[in-house]
Structure 1
Amino acid sequence: METVEITFGPLRPGAGPFLCDQLAALLANRPDAAVVVCDVSAVERPTPADLDHLAQVRLAARRVGRDLVLRGVGPRPQLVLVLVLTGLGGVFGGEAGEPSSIRGVGGESHGQPP
């Protein structure tokens, strides 16, 4: 399966459209890519802007028929916790070796305990 990889790190608020434009350019050059892999290993302390950017990139990928999976979530317990608490955990999938489920509370797997 062909993939496109993007790296996601601390960004200033309002950078979502820029990220979506970058993703669109990457996908235009790789029409065979079915999956966008978003490396979030640089996100140490997720901010509301980070969550907004992730949601925007995920929506941009879905609009063109691509799946988006996160890489680097596992060693970031704060990011896992924020995704779970905001309900976004079920929106994002993880790569092999990553938490298979970061969906929610109540006995579901979160990858690592928060």
Structure 2
Amino acid sequence: MSTKKGRTLADMIGGLDEDLDTSPPASPPPVNSVSASASAAKIVPISVLVSPEDRKRLRQLSLDTGLSIQKLGHEAFNKMLEARGLPPLEAVSANVPSGRSRR
């Protein structure tokens, strides 16, 4: 039996429903404006399932380009959104630095 105590899934997502605000904003924020509230914006994860071989290829692409998987994903999603005439994703940084050395 382990003596470690961690957070359960219920602990991590328990307050999500309470955080939802259904009232419309008073006025929309200006487009392409970076403000103090943008830096405090909530970040949510998404998952993409790939085969082990594709994961290795993506990892190699990450190493070859010097970009994190996060940045590669943003680039790919933004190209897809642009092709459909939709605005790009907001720029975000990872919750935890990857530890990758910068080029």
Sort the TM-score into its range (normalised by shorter chain).
Answer: under 0.3
State TM-score, norm by structure 1: 0.22
Q: Larger C-alpha radius of gyration, 1 or 2?
A: 2
State TM-score, norm by structure 2: 0.24
